[in-house]
Amino acid sequence: MTERSNFGSKLGVVLASAGSAVGLGNVWRFPTEVGNNGGAAFILIYLLCVLAVGVPVMMSEFLIGRHTNANTITAFSKLAPGKWWRIEGVAGVFVAFLILSYYTIISGWTLYYLVQSLKGALLTDQDYSVYFNSFVSEPFTPLLYAIIFMVMTHLVIARGVQSGIERFSKIMMPMLLLIIGILVVCSFGMPGAGTGLRFLLKPDFSKVTASVVLSAMGQAFFSLSLAMGCLCTYASYFTPDTKLVKTAVSVCSIDTFVAVLSGFIIFPAVFSVPNVSPDEGPGLVFVTLPNVFNIAFHSIPVLGYIFSGLFYMLLLLAALTSAMSLHESVTAYVIESWGIPRKKASAMVSASCMTLGVLCSLSFGVLSDFTICGLTIFGLFDFCASKIIMPAGGLIICLFVGWYLDRKLVYNELTNCDTVPFRLFRFYIFLVRYVVPIAIGLIFINELLG
CA angle 205/211/214 to nearest 5° reads: 100
* Residue closer to ligand TRP (CB basis): 227 or 276: 227
* Least gap, CB of 275 to ligand TRP (angstroms): 30
Distance CA 169, CA 193 (A): 32
* Least gap, CB of 434 to ligand TRP (angstroms): 24
Q: In a 3-state reduction of DSSP, which class is residue 139?
A: coil
* Least gap, CB of 391 to ligand TRP (angstroms): 11
- 131-137 contacts at long range (C-beta below 8 A, 24 or more positions apart): 131/287, 131/290, 132/283, 132/286, 132/287, 135/109, 136/109, 136/364, 136/365, 137/364, 137/365, 137/366, 137/368
* Least gap, CB of 21 to ligand TRP (angstroms): 5
Residues 24, 25, 26, 28, CA torsion sign = positive
* Least gap, CB of 416 to ligand TRP (angstroms): 26
Binding site for ligand TRP (CB under 6 A): 20-21, 23-26, 99, 222-223, 225, 228, 230, 322, 325-326
* Residue closer to ligand TRP (CB basis): 255 or 336: 255
* Residue closer to ligand TRP (CB basis): 131 or 327: 327
* Residue closer to ligand TRP (CB basis): 272 or 325: 325
**Please, how many CA atoms are within 13 Å of residue 384, restricted to the half-sphere of its CB?**
17
Cβ proximity of 230 and 20 under 8 Å: yes
* Least gap, CB of 22 to ligand TRP (angstroms): 6
Other CB atoms within a 10 A radius of the CB of residue 4 amount to 13
* Residue closer to ligand TRP (CB basis): 16 or 63: 16
Amino acid making up residue 134: S
Q: Element (H or E) spanning 77, and its range? A: helix 72-79
* Residue closer to ligand TRP (CB basis): 234 or 400: 234
